[in-house]
Amino acid sequence: MHTDSINLFKGLLNKVSVQELNSRIVNYRRVVDLRKISDEQLYKELDKLFTVNHEGEDVSFFLKSDTETYPHQRFYFYRIRKFTAEDLVGLGNRNFPSIQTRSDIWLKPPHLINTYGRLNRPNTSMLYLSHEPSNAIYETGCIYGDHFFLMVYKNKRQMRLSQLHVTPYFPEFDEIQNAKLAILYSFLYSEYCKIISPERDYLYRSSIAIYERFFLDQFIDGFCYPSIKSDYTRGFNICFSADKAEQNLEFQGLMVCKLVPPQENSEFGVERYYDGFLEEDGSFAFFEAGSAEAEEKFGDFAFRRLGGL
């Protein structure tokens, strides 16, 4: 962080006390009715929470925790789709109705999205992934005996990521200034870790507005946020908008699996049947799990998965 920015944010943080910051959070939760409030007014309420007057102008003291990956650093991300009854039949002939075309492993068409999600509005498609296979298993609620497709994606370029799952600590700030940032991020955690039933999907409007107001940026490729199903100190998810997913990710392949009790020193166990890959003509080809063809197509990931889930 540049010296000028350090001094500016120090001054901004010094203008709001711990007591006032806590009061602002309480007031936000008291006055914001997500069933009725307009998007414009919701943005204004968020601005009230995170701004102070500086030299006659309202200025945000919101600080993001962003990270930039190294140019040749490889990351894998994961997503799970549970079997349908028809997919179970496909175990015998490798024909799975749920996995037929590229759209089955990529973003859902926007016209099929009619509810709010943690980061998406209706008619907006986002790609939600997990940073570990085990986290994807938690997120989808798989239990022993469930069959599923474990989809694997990898980055194809250097990425810049916003990190809500990490509370920033700036050594340039004193302990009180960093404590104020910790209070702010605790509020953000609570907004992103709500367990919301389908009929109350409007409650996602708060997390969506926070993302759009403070994190959405043409220079940010993905947005990392805490998992609500696994231990948030190590489990997180990552979301890509449609254009950023196309720019940053490629589909590596998928594993056709059954969840079974774990072996010693592992979190989950899986019984693998097939490995599947998207062909150039848009169809899928399935090979026996661990076969030479599958290992070659999975490339480096074949070594990554030797460590288990």
List pLDDT tens digits, range 163-207: 887 788 889 999 999 999 999 989 998 999 888 999 999 999 999
Label residue 124 by pLDDT band (50, 70, 90).
Answer: very high
Are 134 and 125 in contact by the 8 Å Cβ rule? The answer is no
Handedness of CA 68, 1, 180, 219 (dihedral sign): negative
What pLDDT score does 309 carry?
A: 60
Q: Is residue 229 predicted with pLDDT exceeding 90?
A: no
Q: What are phi and psi of 143, to 5 degrees?
A: -125, 165
State both tokens at 164: 């809500």
pLDDT one-digit tens code per residue, 268-302: 889 999 999 999 999 999 999 989 999 999 988 88
Q: What are phi and psi of 120, to 5 degrees?
A: -120, 145
**Looking at residues 10-32, what average pLDDT do you find?**
95
Q: Is residue 264 predicted with pLDDT exceeding 90?
A: no
Starting at the edge strand that comes first in sequence, how are the strands of the sheet with 269-278 ordered? 66-68, 160-163, 222-226, 236-241, 126-130, 76-82, 147-155, 249-260, 269-278, 284-288
Token look-up 């980061």 returns: 119
Q: Is residue 48 predicted with pLDDT exceeding 90?
A: yes
User: Which pTM value belongs to this model?
Assistant: 0.91
What pLDDT score does 234 carry?
A: 60
Label residue 232 by pLDDT band (50, 70, 90).
Answer: very low
Among residues 86, 91, 8, 96, the alpha carbon closest in space to that of 52 is found at 8
CA–CA separation, 284 and 253 (whole Å): 10
**Looking at residues 110-125, what average pLDDT do you find?**
95
Q: Is residue 233 predicted with pLDDT exceeding 60?
A: no
One DSSP character per residue, 215-238 reads I--TT--EEEEE-SSS-TTT-EEE
Among residues 278, 217, 42, 245, the alpha carbon closest in space to that of 124 is found at 245
Average pLDDT in the chain: 91
CA–CA separation, 118 and 239 (whole Å): 10
CA–CA separation, 9 and 308 (whole Å): 44
**225 CB-contact burial (10 Å; exposed 0-12 / middle 13-18 / buried 19+):** buried
What pLDDT score does 4 carry?
A: 65
